[in-house]
Structure 1
Amino acid sequence: MRRRLTLLVAATTSLVLIAFLVPLALLLRGVAEDRATGRATADLQGIVPVVGTADRAAIELTVDRLTASGRRVTVFLADGGAPIGDPVPRTPAVDLAATGTSLTAALDGGREIVIGVGRTDGTAVIRTVVPQADLHAGVRRAWLVLAALGLLLVVLGLLVADRLARSLVRPIDDLSQVSHRLARAELGARAVVPAGPPELREVAGALNHLAERIQVLLREEREQVADLSHRLRTPLTALRLEVESVRDADERTRVAAGVDALERAVTGLIRQARWRSGPSGSGSCDAVEVVRDRVEFWSVLAEDTGRALRLSLVGGPVLVGVAADELAAALDALLGNVFAHTPDGTPFAVSLSADRVLVVSDEGPGLAGVAVSRGVSAGGGTGLGLDIARRAAGGALDISDNPGGGAVVALRLAAALTRP
């Protein structure tokens, strides 16, 4: 905007200067030509009385004195003899002036001035030529002065326009910085109402109102989520008491692990619902350990439903920039989709490569072309499973069809910045 305002002022100033300086330059040239022509005419008028009354000798003496002063003059007498002064041939203008007419005619390289003077023996003609250099004397210098003045005015206009544009753009830059801070979840950022145009003040007030409204809505949403999470504490406690009553030790251990996982998810939900300065979901973990633990948990259900499970893990730790709880929730969402959307007995596989790619594949009906969108599902669900996995990986989630049939979901995990 600042550059556009400067260019607009430069274009406007240039057009105004052109409209003013071009006619002025032409006027200066015309004045210089008229001045040179007037001086030459005045010199010829000074010898008219001599040419009209004196004899040839007196005329020659007068013409010589005028020629010595720098004015080249020729006198054509009516007797048709040799011209007096500058020896030049007769021109059409001289012939016309011999009829008693005075005139000015254009010539190559100058301007011709002729004056007819009546004598007793006929009409004599006085002629002189004003050179082009005399006609335009001082014009070039005047044009240079005008050009310099125009350039100076353009520069001054650009400086004034730049200061004006800066005063207009600075509040807009401030508003832009505030909007970027709000986008970075700095909800306490507020715009200082500028002292500029009323439109900018209105925009600043609207931005501050929007920030306050966002802050209120987020506070209400997080309070509702926290309240819902706390409400889940009671049934979780009751469920844990029911687990203690299970007689089979292995079954009690498996159900207790599920309750623990659910309690961790509820705890994480409560923690995310609170106000805090750091970004949610920050942390790191060993993906190999988390994947092995969650696959062992789901292997019991896979055995009960007759599903063949194949686990492929890279050797050694794989550090990823995802918290262990979030990675576990993402893998649980993907495996939950396998159990929910494929019939019992469908084989599935889980693999983790050294380049931090977690792949869950099955031999079910497939999911190719399914959009990862919250609240949208092609299988009759809520659409939250794939969305949870996508957010855990920062959006790097690919869905494709298995060549042998079934779905392949690849989750590309971010690298860890620090060791867990």
Structure 2
Amino acid sequence: MRRRLTLLVGATMCLALLAFVVPLALLLRTVAQDRAVVAAAADAQSLVSLVGTADPDTLRFSVEHMAAGSRGPVTVFLPDGSVLGTPAPRTSAVRLAARAGVSRTVERPDGREIVVAVLGRQDGTAVIRAFVPAAELTRGVTRAWLVLVGLGVALLLLGLLVADRLSRTLVAPIAELSAVSHQLARADLTARARPVGPPELREVAGALNHLAGRIQELLREEREQVADLSHRLRAPLTSLRLETESLADADEGARIAARVDAMERAVTGLISEARQRRVARVDAACEATASLRERVAFWTVLAEDTGRGVTLDVAATGPLFVGVAADELAAALDALLGNVFAHTPDGTGFAVTLAPRAGGGALLTVADDGPGMSADQVRRGASRGGSTGLGLDIARRVAQSSGGRLDLATGPTGGARVTLELGPPASGPSPEGRL
């Protein structure tokens, strides 16, 4: 924008300078020509009285003196054929003036010829000829044009400098607004724009600041609501824990109590996360193999109760680090396996596969032998099975946070096949990620 404003001012000034300089240059040339012609005509007119009355010697002396001081040739043609002053041929204009007594100015390729007829001599009509060369007609014009061009260039540079300064006062606040908007997009909600510049930009800055404040308020309210909702789950969990303690089968009670503990840990983590300010976890990382085995082992117990076959295939021969935190990876896998249990009948088997990803990271695939699902169910809130429709969206956001994506397809047996492409850690394997 700054460059465009400067170019616009420069183009406008060029047009204005052309409209001013070109007529002025033509006027200077005309003035120079008129000045030279008037000076030559004055020299010729000053000899008229001498040619008509002076004796030959005095006239010769005066004409030669005039010719020596004039910028162009001055010649006097007498009726007897004598030529005084600068030698010159009798042109057609001189012959016409001697014959008809006509004074005139004639335009010639090499200059201008001024002819003055002097009447009243006893021997006939004398003619005074003053000639202005072409070089004299344009004398000083080139220098004046150079001065005009220099002045125009100086004015243009000055105008561009002023335009650059003015455009900077406009562009700087706009650049600052852009920087603040990018900070807000990176979840830095403390960023604020300074109300500087023209009134319109100050109004935009105020609106942007108001928007940032409103977003902060809405996020704070949302976090509080999530925290309150999560806190309400503690009472049912406590009641469920008490129920498990009263079971006659100690093994069954221990198994259910372990699941209640896992759910309570998830609720506690949700409360803690909701009450903290969320920032981008660009350094998040974990070792995917251990997290995968731990969560599959958890779901295998429930799979055995419902008659489902579980297949775990880990193709990695060593640690496989991905750019997500261990709890987020566990949440994504729980969401995918939860969908299998929720939307397929008992006895439907499923397979979990983990393989290295080209370029770093991992490919996590969950495939089942159920009826499958359509691709539009990956949208947040989209579900035809009576659920909230958030499971696939949770997995998708986890994959995208690492620079990957979620793919939904149909498996070889006709069931759903969900693949999470998990990118590598941003700064290499993290010690915290080695489980």
Is the aligned partner of 1:168 residue 2:174?
no
Kept in 1, the 8 Å contact 2:97–2:116? The answer is no
The Cα offsets for residues 6-51 of structure 1, whole Å up to 9 and x where unpaired, read as 3333233333322222222222111111111111111211222333
- Aligned match of 2:424: 415
**Which one of the candidate residues 356, 369, 383 is aligned to 1:363?**
369
User: Matched residue of 1:375: which SS?
Assistant: coil
In angstroms, what is the RMSD of aligned CA positions? Answer: 2.9
Deviation at 1:374, TM superposition (A): 1.2
* CA distance in 1 between partners of 2:79 and 2:305 (Å): 140
Letter matched to residue 47 of structure 1? L
- For 1:104-183, what aligned pairs fall within 5 Å after superposition? 104-118=105-119, 119-183=121-185
- Aligned match of 2:317: 315
Deviation at 1:287, TM superposition (A): 0.9
Deviates more, 1:217-226 or 1:353-362: 353-362
User: CA distance change for structure 1 residues 53 and 217 in 2, over 3 Å: closer, same or farther?
Assistant: same
Aligned residues: 418
* CA distance in 1 between partners of 2:94 and 2:301 (Å): 123
Deviates more, 1:116-125 or 1:323-332: 116-125
* CA distance in 2 between partners of 1:168 and 1:323 (Å): 44
- Long gaps (5+) in structure 1: none
Kept in 2, the 8 Å contact 1:98–1:116? The answer is no
Deviation at 1:296, TM superposition (A): 1.7
User: Matched residue of 1:116: which SS?
Assistant: strand
Kept in 2, the 8 Å contact 1:319–1:419? The answer is no
Letter matched to residue 42 of structure 1? A
* CA distance in 2 between partners of 1:368 and 1:279 (Å): 31
Letter matched to residue 68 of structure 1? A
- Aligned match of 1:342: 344
User: CA distance change for structure 1 residues 16 and 93 in 2, over 3 Å: closer, same or farther?
Assistant: farther
The Cα offsets for residues 379-406 of structure 1, whole Å up to 9 and x where unpaired, read as 5543211110011122621222335533
User: CA distance change for structure 1 residues 111 and 249 in 2, over 3 Å: closer, same or farther?
Assistant: farther
Kept in 2, the 8 Å contact 1:376–1:382? The answer is yes
The Cα offsets for residues 317-363 of structure 1, whole Å up to 9 and x where unpaired, read as 21222222211110011112223333444332211112311111233
- Aligned match of 1:386: 392
Kept in 2, the 8 Å contact 1:76–1:124? The answer is yes
User: Matched residue of 1:353: which SS?
Assistant: strand
Is the aligned partner of 1:28 residue 2:37?
no
Letter matched to residue 370 of structure 1? D
Letter matched to residue 145 of structure 1? V
User: Matched residue of 1:129: which SS?
Assistant: strand
* CA distance in 2 between partners of 1:255 and 1:203 (Å): 57
User: Matched residue of 1:142: which SS?
Assistant: helix
- Aligned match of 2:51: 51
User: Matched residue of 2:378: which SS?
Assistant: coil
User: CA distance change for structure 1 residues 20 and 249 in 2, over 3 Å: closer, same or farther?
Assistant: same
**Which one of the candidate residues 321, 334, 338 is aligned to 1:332?**
334
Deviation at 1:204, TM superposition (A): 2.5
- Aligned match of 1:206: 207
* CA distance in 2 between partners of 1:93 and 1:305 (Å): 131
Kept in 1, the 8 Å contact 2:365–2:420? The answer is yes
User: TM-score scaled to structure 2, two decimals?
Assistant: 0.85
* CA distance in 1 between partners of 2:77 and 2:378 (Å): 106
User: CA distance change for structure 1 residues 97 and 188 in 2, over 3 Å: closer, same or farther?
Assistant: farther
- Long gaps (5+) in structure 2: none
User: CA distance change for structure 1 residues 76 and 361 in 2, over 3 Å: closer, same or farther?
Assistant: farther
* CA distance in 2 between partners of 1:338 and 1:281 (Å): 30
Deviates more, 1:285-294 or 1:106-115: 106-115
- Aligned match of 1:262: 263
Deviation at 1:407, TM superposition (A): 2.8
* CA distance in 1 between partners of 2:159 and 2:300 (Å): 78
Deviates more, 1:138-147 or 1:333-342: 333-342
Deviates more, 1:225-234 or 1:181-190: 181-190
Kept in 2, the 8 Å contact 1:288–1:318? The answer is yes
